[in-house]
Amino acid sequence: MGTGGHGRAGADHATVRGAVAVLRRKLLLILGSLVALLLLTAVGAIWMLQSILGELHHINTESWAIIQRSNELATTISAMEIELYKLATGKERHLDNLVEAVEQMRAHVAAVEKSYVTRLPENEEVLAGIRRQLPAFAENVAALATAQDPQWERRHHTAALANAVGLRQDIMLLTRNVREHGEKEHASLTSHFRWLLLTLTIVFLVVINISIFVLLRMAAMIVRPVEKLVEATRQLGQEHFDYRVEVQQKDEFDQLARAYNNLAGQLQANEQRKLEMLGQVALTLNHELNNAIAIIELQLQLLSRQAGGNTRVETCAREIHESLARMTRTVESLKRVRRIVLTDYIGGVKMLDLARSVE
């Protein structure tokens, strides 16, 4: 019987430890999920914002780089026109500045061509014009450089000037198109950015609300059964072994409640066994003492008759009778004991608080 009780207690203890570990894991999982959700939302928001900012930066750098290149192209064309003028008027006979300007022009156009902005439909024709004019211009400059015939030189000079004017027009058009495109894209991205901010705000609000709801649920899931278990422990402390915990949820707290109920049941059974034993002791005492008391009572009655009015003897007999009645009541009380309530006696020894034990 005792071994079975110990085994059950050990199993309950293991159950409690297991339940606590599972509960800890569950809490960690829920909290981890919440943290992960928040982190994912934050990362997603940062990624989207970064993407928009990246596009804005891309547009800014690309557009302004092209506009800057276009301005440099226009400056280079001006320089070329000046050089052509100087050559035509004999103010210059060296071609180096002109050749360098053409090479710069080629480099600028090559750089401009690499930009996606120039591949837009509205720029295709303009770029085609530049691609057509630039080699023609370079060829005319080259011919101008090698022409030894004045007529031949004049012809290429005029053609080069015409090409320069054409290039200037195309570049101005390209600059205008790029600027307009940049402004459009900028406006579109700004609008996109605004909507993204709004969406992210809503998403964050939803996530925060979900987090709060989950945390509240989690708190309720924990606090309610914990309160019940605390109350049960208090009852157990007051030796109310018949108190039982009822947990509606099927989880680790349910296991804890069952473990508690098992413990309370065991304590209640032990108490019951003690009471039964006390009842048996009371019956034995009742049986043995009642016989002795009956004999003492008979002897007292005989002694009272023989006293012949002696008051002292009668007083003694009455006190003995009352003590016997008290003993009888005590034995009767022992038979009615419902629980064991101890009280201090002397020298640290405890004795049964009979009055409270029969309540």
Partner 1 sequence: MATFVKTLFAVVLALAMVSAAGCGSDEGRSTRGGKPAAPTTQTSAIRIGLVPERDIYSLRGSYLKLAAYLSGKLDQPVEVVTLNTYQNILLDFEEKSVDAAFLGSLVAVLAMDRYGAGVALKPEQPDGTSTYRGLIVVREDSPIRSFDDLRGRSLAVLRATYAGALFPVWLMSNHNMLERPGTPTLVAVGTHDEGIEAVLNGRADAAAVKDLRLYAYQREHPQSRFRVIEQCAPVPNNALVLRKDVDKALETRLVAALKSMEKDPQARPALEALGAARFVECRPEEYAPIFRMTREIGPSWELVGTGGPVPTTRPSGGR
How far is residue 147's CA from residue 56's CA, in Å, rounded to a whole number? 50
To partner 1, the closest distance from the beta carbon of 144 in angstroms equals 6
How far is residue 30's CA from residue 238's CA, in Å, rounded to a whole number? 37
Find where tokens 């680790």 sit.
252
To partner 1, the closest distance from the beta carbon of 139 in angstroms equals 10
Residue 342, beta-bridge partner list:
352
The residue among 178, 184, 179, 195 whose CA lies nearest residue 52 is 195
How far is residue 33's CA from residue 27's CA, in Å, rounded to a whole number? 10
How far is residue 103's CA from residue 97's CA, in Å, rounded to a whole number? 10
To partner 1, the closest distance from the beta carbon of 166 in angstroms equals 20
Please give the C-alpha separations between residue 180 and each of 115, 169, 248, 293, in angstroms, as whole numbers: 15, 17, 69, 123
To partner 1, the closest distance from the beta carbon of 186 in angstroms equals 37
Contact footprint for partner 1 (CB under 8 A): 87, 93-97, 99-100, 102-103, 138, 141-149, 151-153, 156
Which lies closer to partner 1 via its Cβ, residue 83 or residue 170? 83
Which lies closer to partner 1 via its Cβ, residue 155 or residue 356? 155
Which lies closer to partner 1 via its Cβ, residue 151 or residue 311? 151
To partner 1, the closest distance from the beta carbon of 107 in angstroms equals 12
CA distance between the termini of the chain: 30
Which lies closer to partner 1 via its Cβ, residue 149 or residue 359? 149
How far is residue 263's CA from residue 11's CA, in Å, rounded to a whole number? 11
Which lies closer to partner 1 via its Cβ, residue 102 or residue 232? 102
Which lies closer to partner 1 via its Cβ, residue 25 or residue 131? 131
Q: What residues have CB less than 8 Å from 120, skipping those under 6 apart?
A: 177, 181
To partner 1, the closest distance from the beta carbon of 162 in angstroms equals 18
To partner 1, the closest distance from the beta carbon of 96 in angstroms equals 2
Running DSSP on this structure, what letter comes out for residue 117?
Answer: G
Which lies closer to partner 1 via its Cβ, residue 131 or residue 318? 131
Which lies closer to partner 1 via its Cβ, residue 30 or residue 99? 99
Please give the C-alpha separations between residue 194 and each of 55, 191, 197, 206, in angstroms, as whole numbers: 14, 5, 5, 19
To partner 1, the closest distance from the beta carbon of 94 in angstroms equals 6
Q: Strand 342-344 relative to strand 350-352: parallel, antiparallel, unpaired? A: antiparallel
